[in-house]
Amino acid sequence: MEAYRIQGGSRLQGNVKASGSKNAVLPIMAATILSDEPSILHNVPLLDDVKVMCQILNHYGVKTRWEKKDLHIDPSGIFYAQPPVTLMQKMRGSNLVLGPLLGRFGEAELPFPGGCSIGSRPMNYHVQSLCQMGAHAEEKNGFITARAKRLQGSEICLDFPSVGATENSIMAAIKARGRTLIRNAAREPEIVDLARYLNVIGANVKGAGSDCIEIEGVRKLKGAEYSIMYDRIEAGSFLLAGAITGGEVFVEGANEDALASLLAKMQQAGLHVESSAAGVGVKSGNNRMKAVDIKTMPYPGFATDLQSQFMALMTLACGTAIIAENIFENRFQHADEMRRMGANIKIIGRAAVVNGVKKLYGNTVQASDLRAGAALVLTGLAAEGETVVENIEYIDRGYESFEEKLQSLGAHIERVAQIAEK
């Protein structure tokens, strides 16, 4: 196992290029199951979760091949098989093959997915949607099973705008008979990216990005080349890294619209934000940041995946910030680690009360999940002295070349062997 050793106190400055989006590429990789022809995906981030999805596709006979940032996927030899539990439980995104497998083979059986322990992420929304399309689907004994000779287009109304359930419903509906309407659909930019890819390979998806998505079923799909959108969570993390260190960071390839909720809160805190066709940047002012309240919500609200990084920023703000977590009930595990570094944080149910302090101090802390790990790195960059962030295998799941990119901005961070507990 490895850790990050960080010498805090450096002001980050410069340009960094955004990687392709983890949350966009995983469902698009799963969608290749629906076609018989190869696709080439450009701008694919080399992440542990992407590697696991490649292994899952390989298990079904799909060939995958890397060529720098391009991922070649050939589903022509696909066959149906039972996936190994250990592989599927490595990440939450493994459940994204449910809809495509059902649409392609008329059946799917998957173990409950794994991933970060940030709270319950039930599969009932997925199951309910498939049942409304004529499938016999259920959760039983740690497995999700679904069967249907051919899915029938239907009107689906999600109880909650779940991203995963929306994606699985879209992919299942691609080869269903007739028209499917998904109401109260998730509106995330990554869903728009999935719909764009599906349309490029011959699907008929309309309304992605709104709360009502319409899919007209088709019989056959082709292959294509497609470029994955940038990772807005990674981009936001680098902007917050610049802000917490009092620096100036510009993220090339980022888009203002997809980051609107974060940028608005950063401006409220007194930071200067600039955007152009080339990307988005943040510049710290001469005065101490002001405390700003946030509450996580489905897109276009404040992203839960940026909550912990924003909390890191608020630990040094002037005043008191209230951070309400409305998506996952167990996403404040990083707060205890930040307190070890001098932060003043009190957890009350699903809210965190952050009283800003003037200084943070280096310590040895442990990442409990992907975004918490990134937040602790940011906290370490702003702290006095040395910080060691352990369990960085979580961070490797979602940040490509994280330490190299931070080093290019002037951070003193290195990857080291984690000292085993005695």
- Say what the pLDDT of residue 83 is: 82
As beta bridge partners, residue 275 has: 280
- Say what the pLDDT of residue 143 is: 85
Which domains can be identified in the chain, with CATH numbers? 2-19+230-417 (3.65.10.10), 22-227 (3.65.10.10)
- Say what the pLDDT of residue 21 is: 98
Catalytic residue among 116, 131, 157, 318: 116
Least reliable range by pLDDT among 39-53, 130-144, 156-170, 307-321: 130-144
Count the neighbouring beta carbons within 10 Å of the beta carbon of residue 359. Answer: 10
What is d(CA 315, CA 381) in angstroms, rounded to the nearest whole number?
A: 13
* CA 196 vs CA 168, 170, 215, 229: distances in Å: 15, 12, 12, 10
Residue 115 has pLDDT above 60, yes or no: no
Residues 6+ apart with CB under 8 A from 151: 102, 103, 130, 133, 134, 135, 172, 173, 175, 176, 177, 217
- Say what the pLDDT of residue 97 is: 94
Residues 6+ apart with CB under 8 A from 367: 334, 373, 376, 389, 390, 391, 392, 394, 395
- Say what the pLDDT of residue 420 is: 66
Position with higher pLDDT, 369 vs 121:
369
- By DSSP bridging, strand 39-42 and strand 225-227 are parallel
In one letter, which amino acid is 129? S
What is d(CA 420, CA 200) in angstroms, rounded to the nearest whole number?
A: 49
Residue 120 has pLDDT above 50, yes or no: no
Please report the sign of the dihedral spanned by the C-alpha atoms of residue 369, residue 370, residue 375, residue 378: positive
* CA 67 vs CA 16, 45, 51, 237, 267: distances in Å: 22, 12, 14, 27, 40
Give yes or no for a cis peptide into 83 (omega within 30° of 0): no
Residues 6+ apart with CB under 8 A from 192: 208, 209
For the chain, the distance separating the N- and C-terminal CA atoms, rounded to the nearest angstrom, is: 15
Q: Which of the four pLDDT bands, split at 50, 70 and 90, describes residue 254?
A: very high
Q: Which of the four pLDDT bands, split at 50, 70 and 90, describes residue 419?
A: confident
- Say what the pLDDT of residue 421 is: 57
For residues 127-146, give the mean pLDDT.
90
Which tokens go with 7? 């010498």
Residue 88 has pLDDT above 90, yes or no: no
Residue 249 has pLDDT above 80, yes or no: yes
Taking Cα atoms as reference points, which of 88, 181, 163, 87 lies closest to residue 126? Answer: 163
For residues 194-207, give the mean pLDDT.
98
- Say what the pLDDT of residue 119 is: 44
Taking Cα atoms as reference points, which of 162, 221, 168 lies closest to residue 26? Answer: 168
Identify the DSSP state of 373: H
Residue 117 has pLDDT above 60, yes or no: no
Residue 262 has pLDDT above 60, yes or no: yes
| Angle, in degrees to the nearest 10, between helices 189-200 and 22-31 | 30
What is d(CA 359, CA 341) in angstroms, rounded to the nearest whole number?
A: 9
Residue 23 has pLDDT above 50, yes or no: yes
pTM of the entire structure?
A: 0.94
Q: Which of the four pLDDT bands, split at 50, 70 and 90, describes residue 124?
A: confident
For residues 17-46, give the mean pLDDT.
97
Q: Which of the four pLDDT bands, split at 50, 70 and 90, describes residue 122?
A: low
- Say what the pLDDT of residue 272 is: 97
Q: Is 116 labeled as catalytic in the residue annotation? A: yes
Query: In 319-385, where do the E strands start and end?
Result: 320-324, 344-348, 351-355, 364-366
Q: What is the mean pLDDT of the chain?
A: 94
3-state secondary structure of 330: coil
Percentage, residues of the chain above pLDDT 90:
86
- Say what the pLDDT of residue 90 is: 81
Residue with tokens 């309407």: 181
What is d(CA 98, CA 3) in angstroms, rounded to the nearest whole number?
A: 34
Residue 235 has pLDDT above 50, yes or no: yes
